[in-house]
Structure formats: C-alpha cells, structure tokens
Amino acid sequence: MNRTENCKRFYWVEEEEPLTLILGVDGGGSKTRAVVTDDSGVIRGEGQAGCGNHQTSGIDAALAEIRAAAEQAVHEAGAAPDEIAAVCYGLAGADRPADFAVLRPALASLPYRNWDVVCDTMTGLRTGSPDGIGVVLVCGSGTNAAGRNARGETIQTGGFGYLYGDAAGGSHMAEETFRAAVRSWELREIPSRLTQDVPAWYGFETMEQLVNDWLDRGIYHVSSDLTLVLHRAGEAGDELAVRLLRSAGRELGLAAASVILRLGGFAAFGSRPIPIVLTGSVLQKGRSPHLLGALEETLRDRAGAPFELVIPKIEPVFGAVLLAMDRLGFRAPQDALQRWASESPR
C-alpha cells in the first residue's frame, strides 16, 4: 500500500515595521495646507482647505478648514488619526496668549493625540534654520517679524497693521504705489513711469481716466498685486519706484533688528551669523535688489551682530512637518529637503 505524504512548506514573512507618520498644517488667511510624511520625509498625503486664521473668519470656521485639510491628508496617506505620531499646526493669527487661549481648546477637539500649535512665523523660521534659531521676516500681503534665540525664548515685532507700527507688506506697498502714481501725475512728486504703468495695469490709458473712474465709483482701496507693477518699475530703474522699494526694505530691516535687540540670547552663535529667514511672496518671489539692499544696510547699522539672509526653498507647511519631527527627535534627511523643495502647492 502506497502512502503519499503531504509535505507542507512554511514561509517566514518578515513583517515591516509600521511607519512613523507626521502631520504638518499651515493655516493662513487664504488657504490651509496639510501634509503627512513618514519619518524619512516621504510625502504620504496632502490636503488643502480654506482660511485657517481664526482672527479673520472666527474660530469655528477656521477650525473646520484646519480639520478638513488634515483629514484629507491623513485619508490620502491611508492612515487613521491615531496612527499620526505628531502634529504641528502653524497658524496665522496665533500671535498672543489671548489667541492661544482660543486655539488650544479648539485644536484639542481634533482626533490627534500628540500635537502643538505655533504662530506661522515659527514654521517659516524653521524652513530656513536647521535648529529653529534666528529671525524670520514675513512679507506677503502683510508683514511680521519674529525670532527664537538659543535659550528657546521667542518674541514678535509687528503683524498688527499700520496703526501698530507696520509700514511694509504687499498691501501697504500697493497703496504707496498708487499714491506715488497719483502724486507724480499731479506734479507733487518726481516724474515716474508709474503714471503709465499703474493705469495700464487696470486697463486705462491715463491716470486721469483711472482717477476719475475710481472716484466716480467710490473706490479707495487697491489689491496687493499692484506690487508687481512696483517691482517691474524698480527693475527698470524708475527713481520713484526704487525709493518705495528701499523704504519697504528699510522697514523690514528695522523689524528684524528689533527682534534681535529685544530678544538677545544670540551670543551662543559666536562668529556664526544669525539667519534672517525671508518668507512671503514679496521677499521669496519679488527678490528686489533695491528692497533687499536696503534691508541689509539697515541690519548692518542696527543689529550689532553678524547675519545672513536666507530665502527658503521649501513651503511653510514643511516647516510645520520639521517642527513635528523635532518634537519626536527625528531629523529629516537631506534628500527629503531636496524633494520638498521641488514640491509646489496644489
């Protein structure tokens, strides 16, 4: 009698270690962006929603947008909220203790167990400073300056508008551009190509047509995109445009110097220059040599310490990711930073 023995083969399958997932959220006045990466910096999921600034839209509306962006990123990563090891929310409007008193209870309602919230200035600083120490200058539609020293102390200068001392930012620069065009047209200022460029930007042939049309319609505000006209005139060497750009640069330099002088604690740097991280569209995209030159001149006169200007290559949301990694004791590899630099917002 023949017997056939069934031989069973056993295969040992080595289980992969679960990924450590990190969530970074950048909540601004126009949009909120969220990114999930693993601990090696590979992007696993992304999300985007509307205004995440509670000062602009109220805490309930801002929280809904933050939640939506985060949920989208986590879902795309194929993860559950309790699988996210750390979260950093970098939020516009997180300026004062009164803001954190509103934000912290609201963010605690989101389903993430290990999280922190910082002002978006701190995420901006982290994009250009490997240890999060230095000064950050924000110049988008508005302006702000902040810093963190070697003792971990932080301080903010500006960010609350013209009445509270600010005199830069895209909105302010756009208004100054329009004013300068009107004053030059009326011979209250030196001749300038702005008297042709500004009306052309709005579809008019002359300043007279533009001014009369706007006065008839009761228009007394301009959008910040008029700064593009200012930058182009400055590139062409227009004296009045150059003066405006240098004025904005001087204001930004004063704000950065204010942070250094008020904060102190940079002595540990020794001869190493303090990074001055430049964020926001006016600085990162405009890069006017007239503005940047005046900024540097002002810092040399006022800061009393060596410094270097740094224009980050990565988006602010990755600054939030880096701060969350710092919280876990991870360090993003260099190739991750290079990949993030090539990423653009959706």
Structure tokens belonging to residue 6: 């069934």
Structure tokens belonging to residue 16: 């992969």
Structure tokens belonging to residue 85: 């090891």
Contact 157/255 with Cβ under 8 angstroms?
yes
346 residues of the chain, pLDDT tens digit each = 444 444 444 444 444 566 799 999 999 888 999 999 999 999 999 999 999 999 988 999 999 999 999 999 999 999 999 999 999 999 999 999 999 999 999 999 999 999 999 999 999 999 999 989 999 999 988 889 999 998 889 999 998 889 999 999 899 999 999 999 999 999 999 999 999 999 999 999 999 999 999 999 999 999 999 999 999 999 999 999 999 999 999 999 999 999 999 998 776 566 689 999 999 888 888 899 999 999 999 999 998 888 999 999 999 999 999 999 999 998 888 888 888 988 754 4
Domains of the chain: 21-113+313-342 (3.30.420.40), 131-312 (3.30.420.40)
Closest to 181 in 3D by CA, of 172, 190, 170: 190
Closest to 241 in 3D by CA, of 168, 177, 171: 177
Q: Output phi, psi for 46, to 5 deg.
A: -135, 155
Q: What is the pLDDT of residues 285-319, one digit of tens each?
A: 889 999 999 999 999 999 888 899 999 999 999 99
Structure tokens belonging to residue 68: 């939506």
Structure tokens belonging to residue 252: 């930004």
Closest to 181 in 3D by CA, of 143, 141, 209, 218: 209
Tell me how far apart the alpha carbons of residues 116 and 125 are, in angstroms, rounded to a whole number. Answer: 16
How are beta strands 84-91 and 115-119 bridged, if at all? Answer: parallel
